[in-house]
């Protein structure tokens, strides 16, 4: 599934002259989707690790893969994509 998301600054405001990004959520593994959902819920890596009973390092690795697969630079951008897809 593809979604279109407009890049936003830290305050959530659309940046002037921004380019729409297309993200393919279906390229994420089930575990990566679980972690992305928790990121979108505002959870920290430590909280995610505790909930999923994995190490913080494992969560960090998954987060890095999520950002790479979605073509974004921050957890916030990744969370925005998840929210857009699920609303």
Instruction: Return the higher-pLDDT residue of 70 and 23.
Output: 70
| Sequential DSSP letters for 9-66 | -TTSPBPTT--EEEEEGGGS-HHHHHHHHHHHTT--HHHHHHHHTS-HHHHHHHHHHH
Q: For residue 87, what pLDDT band results from cuts at 50, 70 and 90?
A: confident
**Tens of pLDDT, residues 7-51:** 544 444 444 333 345 567 889 999 999 999 999 999 999 999 999
Look up the CATH architecture of domain 2-85. Answer: Orthogonal Bundle (1.10)
Structural domain spans, the chain: 2-85
Q: What is the pTM of this model?
A: 0.74
């Amino acid at each position: 599934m593809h979604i279109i998301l407009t890049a936003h600054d830290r305050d959530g405001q659309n940046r002037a002259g921004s380019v729409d990004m297309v993200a393919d959520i279906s390229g994420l593994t089930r575990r990566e989707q679980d972690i992305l959902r928790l990121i979108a819920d505002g959870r920290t890596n430590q909280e995610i690790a505790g909930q999923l009973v994995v190490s913080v390092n494992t969560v960090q690795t998954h987060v890095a893969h999520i950002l790479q697969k979605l073509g974004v630079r921050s957890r916030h951008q990744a969370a925005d994509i998840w929210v857009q897809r699920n609303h």
